Structure 1
Amino acid sequence: MTTQTMAREAPASQKQSASHRSVAHLFLDSAERYAENPAFATREGGHFQMTTYAQLREQAESLATALIDLGLKPRDHVGIFAENRLEWIQADLAVLLAGAADVPRGADVTDPDIRHIVPHSGMRFLFVENTTVLEKMRRHPDLIKGVTLILMSGQDADVYAQADLIRRGRELRHQGDRRVEEHMAGLSSDDLFTLIYTSGTTGAPKGVMLTHANMISQLERIPVPIRTDDRVLSILPVWHIFERVFEMIALGRGCCTYYSNVRSLRDDMKNVAPTFMASAPRLWESVYAGILTNLEKASPVRRGLFALTLSVSRRFRGALRFLKGNELDITGRSSFLSMFRALWSIVEVLLLAVPFFLLDRIVLKKIRAATGGALRGTCSGGGALPYHVDLFFNDAGIPVLEGYGLTETSPVLSVRTPDLLVPGTVGPIYPDTDLRITDLNTGELLFTTEAGGPKRRGVKGEIHVRGPQIMKGYYKDQAATDKVLKDGWFNTGDLGMMTYNDCLKITGRSKETIVLLNGENVEPVPIENTLLQSPYIRQLIVVGQDKKYLTALIVPEIEKFPGHKEFTTLAIDPEALSVIRDEVKRLISAEQGFKSFEKVVDFRLLPKPFEQGDELTGKLSVKRHVVTERYAKLIESMYE
């Protein structure tokens, strides 16, 4: 079967289903409807091997039966420490079909994570991806005592092999074992679907309790059009709730998910020609940087043609955005101004239509071809997408549907839709979700979606939400739960505003807000996103809490300094320091819209880049507390 095989469409009468009691019931419903459709495709020997819905159901039911035979009980907790692979989804579905809840984590799980998560979650079974992860677990014999270990791939005589358990469960079911059905009969929508330990930027990981009702609310309300014939490329860690909800959406819609990775992403884009994918800002930033690097090597004629194309596309698509009501609007405008802008936009569309069509086919089509040429959209989440990158890809004809949410909200709270795609925002609020924006200092309610409440648009405040996707709470931590959940309202800790075209715009984190000695509140994220536009800057954080002014810790883009192979020498190179200093002054200036107290007065170059599992979370967000503690002396040197 090739990667371009079209899925068999379900009869129209089967398209809409009633609300499901659990994700397990939703999966079985899909497996029955789309039995012969490919559900997952995994790379084997350079080619994708398909697993149909019927095959996946049989594998999951068999594995669930074997787990029950080993003593797994309803509502038990089962660890899954692995990356994206077919065995992951087999284990995940088997746990759900057995009436239990999983505790997922990546194969790069650290010793501190193991010491906290394994005992805290009370897991009784643990799937590990390979012998490398198995050896990590064996370094903690006191923690895994009483935990049944299951190996996904590789050989070890002392633990169960997942493939062997599937075969054992298959034999039991052939003999009439129906304990899976008995376990599922007792599942309720309020039972735990998953227990995810956050890898946040501050503090120890907390166990987020998400129920089947939480996940079902996401799947049955999603405003993004996912179809049965879609090809969904999976690149983000599946143990994160953002990627996982997309896999569940794909299962619910009957389409196929292709597991990819960073190494094979470029080839997989071309070979699979995905129509949809979940993505992270860092992916698009990397692609954008690659395009600019290639442009630097191109001839002056090609660079000029590209600049012309981008200018025409931005004007043409920008005019269309205004006419559709999809231009970022945080100030509002009069009816007269709106009418004038509309007339001018119509003129621009008419004048630029022909050159846009020609240049799009000559230049921008090649950019889309790099993604396979069939991408109808990508949902970006897990962090803020820089505005210039956001505009670039949307103007290139790659719809980026940026969304917003947290692990605690299952995760989606808002997401752009094809009809309301407003760059610079995270789209309209999710269906059946209530929003409040409150003044961070006074607690005054500034905006709410509730009837009769204030509707002050364009005013920044702290975001509070209420809806069916809000977590049950933090596992074994009522105090932490009470801090963020009050009367059903969840305090996200994020700052944002509602735009005049009814989209949410995120402006920063209330916990990240830097308060200078003069009392000025500064949001570091917009400053950081602006500095990341520089081709000479790879990573950074802005600091300055309780100081007179802002400073920054910067990781330079080493490829831009050919004379250096090590970050340690680059960090003290006078030329590099001069280049970065000029970039900081150019980007963070009054001309760019920054206030005087928002200027970065000093900086230091770091001797190594931020790395996932160390200074970065699994979603590649910077752990600010780790960086500031590690480089405390360097930070202080900027204020001496």
Structure 2
Amino acid sequence: MSSKVTAKNLAELYYDSAKKYGDKPAFGTRNKDKQFFTISFRDVYETGVALATGLIDLGLKARDHVAVLSDNRKEWIITNYGILLSGAADVPRGTDVTDGDIRYILPHSDAKMVFVENEVTLRKIEKNFADLKNITHVILIDGDSITTNGKGNPNGKVQIDPKAGPIPKTTNMADLIAKGKNLRELGDRRVEERVADIKPDDLFTIIYTSGTTGEPKGVMLTHANMISQLRNIPIDIGPKDRFLSILPVWHSFERVFQMGTIAMGASQYYTNVKNIREDLSIVKPTFMASAPRLWENLYQGIQSRIQEGSFIKKILFKIAYGSALRVQRPLHFFKGNRLDLSGRNLVQSITLAVFSLFSIIVFLIPYLILNAIVLRKIKQATGGKLRGSVSGGGSLPFHIDEFFNTIGIPVLEGYGLTETSPGLAFRTPKHLVVGSVGPIIPETEILLKDIETGEILYPPKKGAKGEIYVRGPQIMKGYYKRPEVTAKVLANNGWFNTGDIGIMTYNDTLKIVGRTKETIVLLNGENIEPVPIENKLVQSPFIDHVMVVGQDQKFLGALILPALEKFAEYGSTYEQLAASKAVHEKILQEVKNSIRTENGFKSFEKIVEVRLIPKAFDVGDELSAKLSVKRHVVTAKYQSLIESMYEVKAQGQAYARR
């Protein structure tokens, strides 16, 4: 990709792609008849220019901020074009935005205008408008027109509720685009002036990270940040590729691929969790960005179909997959892509080479035959044309990672954060080390530091576990209006503390093994701050200590130290309480009563399982001198206890499926 991206900012990129790819389909949205309606590169650009002209005419100034509350659809990208071509920056969020998010994010971001996807989202703005002092205009993406009579919704018109209080001028996006086109025909060229004035360090977006405290952080990303990602992501994408977009379109991970398809002339089709299986067969994508949860769902679906099949089919699959493993693992070894965390010596390498060669000789023919008969049919679950998928937003479970790569569906796991635009490391087809997130991308520097002492371990030491620090052109400008928080993670010399723990493998790839910072990322990509949940739980007289867990899992769990004096009838030591089923049930019920939506928590913040720990947290061990929990220490010490929460739940689900 690096040789193809020459634009200095994203607005220039949009122009270059429209000129180069013209009438080729750029983006598509599915209708009720399961058909995808597309818009060409030229049309999306020209529509975006018209929208930008309309926004400028409404009073939008260069470097202003515009909020966008919308989900995956081609109108989202038109909105994005319009905002960026007017020289402004977007502040995106989905339609599931909460009242609290609206009241905090829109004022804090200094957004002057807000795009809303539909009438439901418009009602949220009306409800909270008294707190949105900075908003001058609301722009509705859906609807043919807007009235203010508040008498139903005839003929597709959207009404503004007069009881909602004073609201700014509300207009329909289609009307704004039409106005912009008229102004362009009359010679209006303010868009060109705005684009020429965009500086590399100007913001193109402010993405607010999820939080339960009511104060999410606004990550400032610049045009230069995103251009560096397009310049350095090592994927071979071209005009013949088709991307299926399922992750929230405003997430930084999805936006890299969105911008990548624009830069390379690929087509992108928007889908959702409900339609993903059908759309995989309709679109037959060649690439897609995804979260680990998608692959887990596909894996479980494939396994269910296999178990429902005949005895012969089960045996054939078992032999086919076993043969594939015994061919693919040796091939990975000979390519230098077999995960190596310790540094194999010469004897070990020779031994592995001999066994690998023997395995290939024995299993190659069965593999080739059964791959054609069995495994290729399984690949049809993704449409049959998938050349690769990048999984991000959490670690991919090893067995699922190996499964898809073994049957011939390359899953190119990546690693990054919203604060890093997000790409830091990336697996490629040539450097596909299952169990790692791939090599560090070009122009990026990495340090691994000892968690306790801060001593630099890597470079040069491979195989050592340390906290990850990175520096490069993709690192954010900072957190919007939060200099004190920015200073905690971003040093003056440009090094960003990711809060993650990693190992540099002897394959020269990065492996993520944990987190030192508090944010927990579930398998579905939801970011959760555990501290507010923990603060709520320790208010209970029955709980002394608690640590929420769930990194890369489907749901949250909690390690809990029960209050000894409250459960005296069950024992006099923590070990006795931890072994008591009655105490466990009482604590679990207390947790569920505390962490629920009625108390202000979101559905994915609920604690599903708990485990009782047999000793109190001690300073110098589980606690720091400041009495804060050392999460990595507790996680390592009680790893088996944590794993048991998810093993029991998985076994219960498997039993229920039978």
Deviation at 1:321, TM superposition (A): 0.5
Q: 1:53 maps to what in 2? A: 41
1:509 Cα shift?
0.7
The match for 1:153 is 142
Q: Which residue of 2 aligns with 1:296?
A: 307
Query: Quick one: distance in 2 between partners of 1:279 and 1:602?
Result: 24
Q: Does the aligned pair in 1 maintain the 2:103–2:132 contact within 8 Å?
A: no
Aligned pairs for 1:217-232 (under 5 A) are 217-232=228-243
2:271 corresponds to? 260
Is 1:503–2:509 an aligned residue pair?
yes
For 1:108-507, list aligned pairs within 5 A: 108-145=96-133, 146-154=135-143, 155-157=145-147, 159-200=170-211, 204-448=215-459, 455-486=460-491, 487-507=493-513
SS in 1 for 2:146: coil
Q: What is the CA distance between 1:244 and its match in structure 2?
A: 1.0
- Give CA-to-partner distance per residue, 1:590-627, whole Å, 9 cap, x none: xxxx988533189889xx99xxxxxxxxxxxxxxxxxx
Match of 1:38 among 17, 25, 34: 25
Please give the TM-score of this superposition, normalised by the length of structure 2. Answer: 0.77
Distance 2:47 2:450 in 1: 52
Deviation per residue, 1:135-155 (Å, 9 max, x gap): 011111213344310000024
Distance 1:435 1:202 in 2: 31
Q: Helix, strand or coil for the counterpart of 2:454? A: coil
- Contact 1:38–1:52 (CA under 8 A) maintained in structure 2: yes
Aligned residue number for residue 71 of structure 1: 59
Contact kept, 8 Å, 1:508 with 1:523, in 2: the verdict is no
Q: State the Cα RMSD in Å.
A: 2.9
CA distance in 2, matches of 1:431, 1:545: 46
- Given that 1:81 and 1:106 are in contact with CA atoms closer than 8 Å, whether structure 2 keeps it comes out as yes
Structure 1 residue runs of 5 or longer lacking an equivalent are: 1-13, 449-454, 515-521, 533-537, 555-578, 582-593, 610-640
> Quick one: structure 1 residues 475 and 596, their matched pair in 2 at CA, closer, same or farther if it must change by over 3 Å?
closer
Provide the C-alpha distance between the structure 2 equivalents of 1:488 and 1:546, rounded to a whole number of angstroms. Answer: 43
Letter in 2 for 1:214: N
Q: CA deviation digits over 1:22-55, x for unaligned, max 9?
A: 1111111111011121111111232111211111
One-letter amino acid of the structure 2 residue matched with residue 252 of structure 1: A
- What does 1:619-630 correspond to in 2, within 5 Å? none
Asked if residue 543 in structure 1 is aligned to residue 559 in structure 2, the reply is: yes
Distance of 1:298 and 1:580 partners within structure 2: 36
Deviation at 1:185, TM superposition (A): 1.2
Render the CA deviation track for 1:560-606: whole Å, top value 9, x for unaligned. xxxxxxxxxxxxxxxxxxx999xxxxxxxxxxxx988533189889x
**How many positions carry a matched residue from both structures?**
536
Q: Is the 8 A contact 1:498 1:504 kept in 2?
A: yes
Verify the 8 A CA contact 1:123 1:147 in the aligned structure 2.
Answer: no
Q: How many angstroms apart in 2 are the aligned matches of 1:46 and 1:599?
A: 46
Shift in Å, 1:304 = 1.7
- Aligned with 1:599: secondary structure? helix
Distance in structure 1 (CA, Å) of the matches to 2:637 and 2:232: 44
Q: 1:43 to 1:597 in 2, by over 3 A?
A: closer
Indicate the percent of aligned positions where both proteins have the same amino acid: 50
Partners in 2 of 1:457 and 1:238 — Cα distance? Answer: 36
1:242-283 Cα offsets, whole Å, 9 max, x none, are 111100000000111011111221111111110000000000
Give the whole-Å Cα distance in 1 for the aligned partners of 2:421 and 2:100.
25
In 2, the alpha carbon distance for the partners of 1:202 and 1:500 equals: 41
- Is 1:131–1:156's contact at 8 Å kept on the other side of the alignment? no
Farther-moved stretch of structure 1 (136-145 vs 596-605): 596-605
Task: Quote the Cα distance in structure 2 between the aligned partners of 1:408 and 1:142.
Answer: 31
Measure, in 2, the Cα distance between the counterparts of 1:201 and 1:171.
45
The answer as to 2:639 corresponding to 1:598 is yes
Deviation digits for residues 461-497 of structure 1 (CA, Å, limit 9, x no counterpart)? 1000000000000000000000000120000000111
2:549/2:556 contact within 8 Å kept: no
Distance 2:212 2:516 in 1: 13
Give the match's secondary structure for 1:237.
Answer: coil
Q: In the alignment, what sits opposite 1:623?
A: none
Opposite residue 249 of structure 1, the aligned amino acid is: G
Partner of 1:124, secondary structure, is strand
Change (3 A) 1:233 1:604: closer
Per-residue Cα deviation, 1:55-109 (whole angstroms, up to 9, x for no partner): 1111000000000000010000000100011110001011100000000000100
Task: Give the structure 1 partner of residue 535 of structure 2.
Answer: none
Q: Deviations over 1:184-208 (max 9, x none)?
A: 1111100001011011577731000
Q: Distance in 1 between matches of 2:561 and 2:517?
A: 11
What amino acid is the match of 2:14?
F
Report the Cα distance in structure 2 between the residues aligned to 1:248 and 1:260, rounded to whole angstroms. 17
Rounded to whole Å, the distance in 2 between the matches of 1:580 and 1:96 is 47
